[in-house]
Structure 1
């Protein structure tokens, strides 16, 4: 051990031996408090930051989502009586996409009826969260009522108000749509969903809305609008029909013995 360190430890020992019993007790307590504080900070810093994956979900949906999280090995927390599911922040988007692909949450949300359950003692934060959930549910229910749509869910990202113009951000929305079997949304329907959603949120523009279907097809992107017009969708539909019919004929008459034209 270096001589300087040895000398320091010797002087420290002499100083401690000169303490009274009360001073020694205080010193020990102080060291213990510092050690516990450092340990607590280390444990806190090592814990992942949890953020809501879904909120206000039905019990059946919560159970299915939790099963998916367990399968993926993602840690989670349940709050709000199991209606809110929290996951590490870096896992939110991946798990949300997986849940959307599985058609979750599938249950109809409460919409504006959630406001009826809000108590008079609710904090401003609780009121804002409940109002946002109510808007998401109401929009999802409205979109699900459209012809050819089986289910829909809406997620709103509404930034906090700020007095600094340079820091203001536009609100955005993501819409997941599950269509009925054999149904493809037309360009007009996609535009209707986009405009319906943007018109419901102050300061939201149609270009702030993204729409995705159950097949993972992006129908409208944030900043880009609808990804294809009616002609393109018609062409895609014809291609799918042609491929299906050609495959069926090849099985019946043999490959290369029939050609399909649409």
Structure 2
């Protein structure tokens, strides 16, 4: 309809997905349609779906329209991000139930078509996840899946239990640690084995339990705090003395006295108590997997033969990686394996990426040159507008020798002086009244030309005087 309103001839392409216009009108038509917001994704219906009357729609249809509106708005917004050419969003909204236990979790899937072979960064993918999750009620970032047109999963699987204990900053720190350790070992092996001959992946296990540990340390040398001495005296009668010596007194012969002394010493032992609290989120264990490429040997025909590496070399690589990452060299913590690397896909992808970078570079150069040309054009127009334009002599439209002819159309009393006036010009001496009348007549007949003529005469007089 926009093309028909401007009378632009067009026809539909053979596949039905393009519109053809004359080559001379391509650029102007694109600019016009871009100003109208066209072409737009007609299948992306946003909140404008509610602009149409919705009388008679059921609750199910209303929910479907609401979901379509959210999907369309999200897709249109994501498509405006740098590096994204097109986007599709699918949102699954659970139905409301009376029981909370039966309530299902909302989920969403985002399909992206990126510009060129470059992939979106991890931060961009996470931004898309958070953007979609915050736009849909009851949707978490872990329930948003992001894939691209090549069938690659861009979003990372997140552990719900880990999210319950760790914040986003802690999870980001963990991923940064894994990436740093992987890059550290990979760069070391690249120097030794060559580029593209080693792949290192590190996984860190998070401590999800909060543990409190108490350590008590006792001093070896005790300190005496007090000393107590206790004496006990016991007196008992002696029956044998009483039977032999009846006259003995009771005080000397019949009583036996026994004394006992007890010494009590109290010592104090010094102790130190240390309480250690290990919160959730700490690094509990680090494991690593290392893949190295087998040696390659090419013959004269270009055939590649893969030669396995010696076990001693693999053990040396394992020991070096263990020391570089600071982990124990055990089978459960570190493994090193050798494989035949498939490099063709990597080379094709690298060539495609280089072509894309070259294309982007030329586009950037073209934009800069275009901006420079536009700036020069504006400056040139500015100078042309404000520079002094040379004054050209504009003819009066009436020859000076025939100036007297104007009197033929005048009154009859002026016809007698026509011949006299035709023999002089306004620059020649003559009667003052006739010169003034001649000037007035010229101004009335052609005021614009007369104004330019007077300016020209004044400039000529100034030039002669100088």
Q: Which has the higher strand share?
A: 2
Q: Which has the higher helix share?
A: 1
User: TM-score, length-normalised on structure 1?
Assistant: 0.46
Structure (1 or 2) with the larger CA radius of gyration: 2
User: TM-score, length-normalised on structure 2?
Assistant: 0.27
Q: Which has the higher contact order (CA 8 A, sep 6+)?
A: 1
